[in-house]
Amino acid sequence: MNCCEHLVVLAFSAILAYVITPRVAEAMSALNHVRPDVHKPGRPLVPYSGGIAIYASMIPALLAAALFDTSLAAQFCVLAAVASIAFAVGLVDDFKVLGGRTKTLLTLLTVLPLVIAHITLPSQVQLGRPLVPLLGRLRLTIIYWLLLPLVAAGPANVVNMLDVFNGVMPATSLAATVALVVSAYLIEPKGALLLLPLLGALAGYLPYNKWPARVLNGDSGSLMVGAYIGAVAALLHLEFIAAVALIPHILNGALVIVSVGGFKEHRQMKERPILVREDFKLIASSSQTAPISLVRLILAVEGPLEERQVAARLIALGMVSSILAVVSALLTPR
């Protein structure tokens, strides 16, 4: 492991994201590709599809990382392909709204690069036998392959479903990515390099998306980030650790899917889980038939809160689960 190379990749992607994001925001404004920020007074129009900036800073950093460590070239290619598929699905959805079910089905395509690489380059891209605390490598010989289609599509969709307030998606994903980087350094230090392009891109992008957001992520951002986290986890056998880091996302996704009876776009929902008061504080809907989400439950416990207060609580929960993910890595036999 060469720390200098790791720092260069991290800094490269962070600087790229920091420089590219305002340009992308300007370009989206020029294209009139904007969305109302519905939780703010006057519902200001904010440039959409900030995921373009994350993608545009992550892919060059992936190439730079592949040049530093050619032994990981196959993994970098897989990650670039997974990120590109999820980004493409998200971008189509940003410009031309796809149905909830269609979008979910399309994200299942992200498993293809993983499977193809595993079949064609079995010595370089190994899947299966995830690492778990106390036990080490699990002997999941059949179940793993049955669940494999969800390995990138699952995180992609749950990260997308919690992308509800300014800063929440990049901040919670950053916490999860930091947890995975620490876990990789503890378990397989060489593999940490695979996560650094995403870590840098999210760190450089976050200042523009944090409250009050100057750019919104769009599905192009959230689907891609989630799919990338899932794909890296599969490549490094850190599936369990990634799932722990994403517990708030999984909890929210499960609540929404169960309460609305399947995969539905938020535009298709008849009732909203939360309401915006005249003073722009958010309150939980008291309707028995409104969808249940993690945000609605937070507001039910605490009462009316401002948008950034809710975002802070979601980010704090992301940090709790990321700490547990690192504890899981510490408890994993090597």
Under a CB-based contact definition with an 8 Å cutoff, are residues 75 and 233 in contact? no
Residue 141 interacts with another protein (CB under 8 A): yes or no: yes
Q: How far is CA 328 from CA 152, 183, 247, 252, in A?
A: 20, 8, 13, 21
Residue 319: CB minimum distance to another protein, A: 10
Six-digit token string for 118: 């595993």
Q: Which residue from 144, 183, 232, 118 is spatially nearest to 334, judged by alpha carbons?
A: 183
Residue of the chain from 254, 264, 281, 306 that contacts another protein (CB under 8 A): 254
Residue 327: CB minimum distance to another protein, A: 8
Residue 135 interacts with another protein (CB under 8 A): yes or no: yes
Among the listed ranges 113-121, 209-217, 223-231, 321-329, the one in contact with another protein (CB under 8 A) is 321-329
Residue 300 interacts with another protein (CB under 8 A): yes or no: yes
Residue 292: CB minimum distance to another protein, A: 5
Pick between residue 44 and residue 136 the one whose CB is nearest to another protein: 136
Pick between residue 14 and residue 310 the one whose CB is nearest to another protein: 310
Residue of the chain from 299, 311, 326, 329 that contacts another protein (CB under 8 A): 299
Site mask for another protein (CB under 8 A), range 115-134, x = bound:
-----------------xxx
Q: Widest CA span of the chain, in angstroms?
A: 60
Residue of the chain from 32, 71, 142, 277 that contacts another protein (CB under 8 A): 142
Residue 180 interacts with another protein (CB under 8 A): yes or no: no
State the Cα–Cα distance between residues 65 and 232, nearest whole angstrom: 14
Residue of the chain from 23, 43, 101, 139 that contacts another protein (CB under 8 A): 139
**With the C-alpha atoms ordered 18, 23, 26, 27, is the resulting torsion angle positive or negative?**
negative
Strands 282-284 and 34-36: unpaired
Residue of the chain from 255, 260, 326, 329 that contacts another protein (CB under 8 A): 255
Residue 283: CB minimum distance to another protein, A: 8
In this structure, which amino acid lies at residue 261?
G
Residue with tokens 């007074």: 41
Tell how far CA 54 is from the center of its chain: 11
Q: Which residues pair with 35 in a beta bridge?
A: 46
Residue 289 interacts with another protein (CB under 8 A): yes or no: no
Residue 152: CB minimum distance to another protein, A: 20
Number of residues that bind another protein (CB under 8 A): 42
Residue 328 interacts with another protein (CB under 8 A): yes or no: yes
State the Cα–Cα distance between residues 53 and 26, nearest whole angstrom: 11
Q: In terms of C-beta density within 10 A (0-12 exposed, 13-18 middle, 19 or more buried), how is residue 269 classed?
A: middle
Over its C-alpha atoms, the chain yields an Rg (Å, rounded) of 19
Site mask for another protein (CB under 8 A), range 78-117, x = bound:
----------------------------------------
CA atoms within 13 A on the CB side of 180: 36
State the Cα–Cα distance between residues 304 and 174, nearest whole angstrom: 27
Under a CB-based contact definition with an 8 Å cutoff, are residues 213 and 166 in contact? yes
Residue of the chain from 47, 221, 248, 253 that contacts another protein (CB under 8 A): 248
Residue of the chain from 215, 227, 292, 311 that contacts another protein (CB under 8 A): 292
Residue 32 interacts with another protein (CB under 8 A): yes or no: no
State the Cα–Cα distance between residues 99 and 251, nearest whole angstrom: 22
Residue 138 interacts with another protein (CB under 8 A): yes or no: yes
Strands (E), 128-241: 131-132, 136-137
Q: Which residues bind another protein (CB under 8 A)?
A: 132-135, 138-143, 146, 240, 243-244, 247-248, 251, 254-255, 258, 283-284, 286, 288, 292, 294, 296-303, 313, 316-317, 320-321, 324, 328, 331
